[in-house]
Chain A
Amino acid sequence: MEKELLALIEKNAKRDIKDLAAILQESEFSVWSTLTELEKNKVINGYHTIINWDKANVDRVTAVIDVTCQPERDFGYDRIASMIYAYPEVDTMYLMSGKTEFSVVVEGRTMQDISNFVGSKLAVVEGVTGTSTNFILKQYKKNGVIFADTDEEEDDRIQVSI
């Protein structure tokens, strides 16, 4: 049930334990203890909310920054990565195949914020050899959720049919 439970709460972390138990045909205790175990083992690392900040009228800028670097003997990429992801401005970070080594998602209030961060913090990390900053202009879809401007699609089925 672990996998199915994870798939369920990945899509909706707000489901209560009673519903999860009914959906999975397990006891509430068993769902609760499995969740606790998954949290303890860091399989579950947090419960976040998918927010369309544009609609909330909050100024936020996100950039995806391609970072190149020189790997280090004994550490490879991991030590340099740890120097970057330690900054709270870094939301998400990946080691990539392809032209650049890291892909770093940085959030800030303004473009200036992000430029300052890249110039004064990220680009100067020892081992980093270059950065290329790509600002996100519009978000269409995040974590499987479409941020449509239109109203929610209506159920166009006839209400009762055989």
Chain B
Amino acid sequence: MYRDLLNKTVVEIKPSGIRRFFDLANTKKGVLSLGVGEPDFATPWNVCESAIYSIKAKHTHYTANAGLLSLRTELSHYLRKRYDLHYSPNKEMIITVGGSEAIDIALRAIINSGDEVIILEPAYVAYEPAVRLAGGVPVFIELKAENQFKLTKEELLEKITDKTKAIIINFPSNPTGGIMNKEDYEPLIPIIKEHRLIVISDEIYAELNYSSKHCSPAVFPEIRDLVVLISGFSKAFAMTGWRLGYLCANSIFVEQMLKIHQYIIMSAPTAAQYGAIEGLRNGQKYVDEMIVQYKQRRNLLVSRLNEIGLPTHMPEGAFYVFPCIKHTGLTSLEFCERLLEEQNVACVPGSAFGNAGEGYIRISYAYSIDEIKMALAKIEIFMEQFKKAN
């Protein structure tokens, strides 16, 4: 009755088609879940302790809008050392409330009504609504499994129009685990430069790259100032609940994005910022240990899924595998619903990530090896029973 009073764009955002499945999976008892999108590790204790100490020391006020300068300085060192990225802590960085806020303010600062923004599917679910809420028009590129879900030059060229303002990329990718290397980016750089495309690069899984060093598109000098680099502490430092992210871009972009941030958010949580400083200074050994464990779990998962008869390519990043279920003849939602109903195992249907995800399911390995083994045993029973019945 009051819907007419609401903002049209908000009302028109489709509730996810798989909401019902999610609600069921989240409320059902005794579920063995492989469905989470956050690390199972606890935040390293030195990070927690630093945040607790900051509260005891009464650092309980707002910080500078862009975040504590000491955190930005530490971040600038970290980005240079880890990824060969060069950003000024003073003018080219904002500490945000998670990567999510960074995505939002970046889009709002660049989009004029009707601008097109290219999104790569399968995609993290927040990109499309974020573009729409900013007044943009999402345009989708369906990435292909045979290209290991990488973006090709031809795919990009096909979707560029005179209204294209930006492209959102996310490598390592949720949900496919796909990555882009330097060689994969090279053919795209001249196109991005020629069309002056703003590249919103969500690199939240950058630390979780198992085959090579993560490559950001911002390392290419030709397009460095067209890139808005977004990342955060959630995945690398197992800090999802702390809600701390960051955004790096050229100073002209940052100046405008900071306006939105300062009026809407003021500043990111102070205790979390102190924790993050400690994470950047002394946390790498814990991150490295998590990477070793993720890689071991991934290897086990991919080997077993292929044995079970769910073709799965070896993803090179993030903590997801993306097995193909097309041969079962079921949709990804049907597959996940039946798996939940018959074996009490929860995975995420690929269709949650757009049309290009249909025919796949997302399995997370943010679980211990024993939990993964137990879930795999149940998936195996499910597949055997399915084969017998069909």
Contact = CB atoms under 8 A, between A and B. Distances in A.
Interface stretch (B31-39, B88-96, B256-264): B31-39
Contact of B36 (A7, A25, A159): A159
Q: Which size class do A's interface residues fall under?
A: 10 to 19
A133 B174 CA distance: 56
Interface stretch (A16-24, A34-42, A76-84, A112-120): A16-24
A160 interface: yes
A161 interface: yes
A162 interface: yes
A162 B373 contact: no
Contacts of A159: 25-26, 28, 31, 33, 35-36, 346
B22 interface: yes
Nearest to A155: B40
Nearest to B31: A159
Nearest to B314: A25
Contact of B33 (A7, A15, A19, A160): A160
A117 B33 CA distance: 53
Contacts of B373: 19
Nearest to B21: A160
Contacts of A4: 292
A132 to B, nearest CB: 32
B251 interface: no
B352 interface: yes
A138 interface: no
Given A22-B300, A23-B369, A162 B31 contact: no
Contacts of B125: 162
A97 B299 CA distance: 43
A160 B22 contact: yes
A50 interface: no
B321 interface: no
Contacts of A157: 36, 38, 40
Interface in A1-51: 4, 7-8, 15, 19, 22-25
A2 to B, nearest CB: 15
A19 B370 CA distance: 10
Contact of B26 (A19, A25, A158): A158
B296 interface: yes
A8 B40 CA distance: 18
Contacts of B348: 160, 162
Contacts of B38: 157, 161
B309 to A, nearest CB: 16
A162 B300 contact: no
Complex A-B, nearest 7 residue pairs according to Cβ-Cβ distance, in ascending order? A160-B35, A22-B303, A159-B33, A160-B25, A23-B296, A161-B37, A22-B300
Given A22-B300, A158-B26, A162-B353, 10 more contacts: A7-B292, A19-B300, A23-B299, A24-B296, A24-B299, A157-B38, A160-B25, A160-B26, A161-B37, A161-B38
Interface of A: 4, 7-8, 15, 19, 22-25, 155, 157-162
